[in-house]
C-alpha cells in the first residue's frame, strides 16, 4: 500500500501530539508537586499558574492542558497531601508506637514544616466559607477522619460514662487544631504531651 507524503506528515504530527502534549500521570504528579510547593511558599491566593508551570518545567499552556484552573490544582494538591498524611498515619499506627503517642507522632512530623503547616491552616480556615472551592473537600476529609478515629486503636471507638464516641472524636480533632495553632504562635513551647494526656484520658487503664 502506498503512503502519501500527507499521510506521513499526519502520522508525524500525531506522534508529536501524543508526546509532549499527552496527559500522563507522571507529568500531572510533577505539576501537583510544583503546585504544593508554590502554595506552601506563597499561599494559595498569591501563587500563580505561571510560577507553578516554571517549577514543574512546563509551559503555561502545557499546564493548562492538564489543569484548566488554579482551583483544580488546589484540589489535586490537597488530595495528594491527604494521601501523604494517610500513608504516614498508617505507618505510625502499624508501628510499635504506644497508642497514646500515635497522634502526637503525626503532629511532630507536621510541626517540622511550619510554612507548609501555616498555609494548610490558612486554606482550611478559608474553606469554612461554603463558596470556597475546597469547602466540600474539607467537609469530606473531616468525616473520613471521624470514621478513621472510631475504627482504629486510637481510643475513640467506644462510648464511656461521660462521653460518647462522637464526643471523643470531636475533642481529639479540636485538640489537634488547637495544637497546630499553638505550635505556630509559640514554637518553643512543648505541647505534644497534651495530646498524649488527652488520649490516655479518653481510654483510661488501657480500655478501648
Give the pLDDT confidence of 146-188 residue by residue, as tens digits: 887 766 656 666 777 778 888 888 898 899 999 999 999 999 9
Q: Distance between CA atoms of 114 and 46, rounded to whole angstroms?
A: 18
State the pLDDT at residue 63. Answer: 94
pLDDT for res 31:
94
| pLDDT tens digits for range 10-42 | 444 333 334 444 458 888 999 999 998 898 888
Q: Is the per-residue pLDDT at 117 higher than 50?
A: yes
Query: What is the band of 129 on the pLDDT scale with cuts at 50, 70, 90?
Result: very high
**All residues at 6 or more sequence positions from 172 whose CB lies less than 8 Å from its CB, including other chains:** 103, 149, 154, 156, 198, 199, 202
H-assigned helices in the chain? 5-18, 25-42, 49-55, 60-66, 70-94, 102-111, 114-126, 135-149, 165-185, 192-202
Residue found by looking up cell 505550635 in the block: 183
Q: Which is higher by pLDDT, 113 or 206?
A: 113
CB environment 131-159: b (16+ within 10 A), e (fewer): ebbbeebbeebeeebbeebeeeebbbbee
Closest CA to 107 of 184, 36, 201: 184
Work out whether the CA dihedral 139, 141, 142, 143 comes out positive or negative. Answer: positive
Q: Which residues lie closer than 8 Å to 56 by C-beta, 6 or more apart?
A: 27, 30, 31, 33, 34, 35, 63
pLDDT at 113 over 50: yes
Q: Which has more pLDDT, 135 or 3?
A: 135
Give the pLDDT confidence score for residue 34 in this predicted structure: 93
- Three-state DSSP class for 123? helix
What is the pLDDT at residue 30? Answer: 92
Query: What residues contact 98, with CB distance under 8 A and at least 6 apart?
Result: none
Amino acid at each position: 500500500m502506498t503512503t502519501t507524503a500527507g499521510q506521513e506528515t499526519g502520522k508525524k504530527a500525531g506522534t508529536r501530539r501524543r508526546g509532549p502534549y499527552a496527559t500522563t500521570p507522571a507529568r500531572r504528579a510533577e505539576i501537583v508537586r510544583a503546585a504544593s510547593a508554590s502554595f506552601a511558599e506563597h499561599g494559595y491566593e498569591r501563587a500563580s499558574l505561571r510560577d507553578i508551570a516554571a517549577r514543574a518545567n512546563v509551559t503555561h499552556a502545557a499546564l493548562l492542558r492538564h489543569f484548566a484552573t488554579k482551583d483544580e490544582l488546589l484540589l489535586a494538591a490537597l488530595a495528594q497531601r491527604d494521601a501523604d498524611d494517610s500513608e504516614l498515619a498508617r505507618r505510625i499506627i502499624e508501628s510499635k508506637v504506644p497508642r497514646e503517642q500515635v497522634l502526637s507522632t503525626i503532629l511532630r512530623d507536621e510541626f517540622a514544616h511550619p510554612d507548609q503547616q501555616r498555609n494548610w491552616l490558612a486554606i482550611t480556615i478559608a474553606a469554612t466559607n461554603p463558596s470556597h472551592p475546597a469547602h466540600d473537600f474539607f467537609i469530606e476529609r473531616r468525616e473520613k477522619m471521624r470514621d478513621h478515629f472510631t475504627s482504629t486503636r486510637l481510643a475513640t471507638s467506644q462510648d464511656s460514662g461521660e462521653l460518647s464516641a462522637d464526643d471523643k472524636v470531636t475533642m481529639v480533632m479540636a485538640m489537634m487544631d488547637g495544637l497546630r495553632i499553638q505550635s505556630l504562635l509559640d514554637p518553643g513551647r512543648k505541647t505534644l504531651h497534651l495530646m498524649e494526656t488527652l488520649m490516655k484520658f479518653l481510654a483510661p487503664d488501657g480500655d478501648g
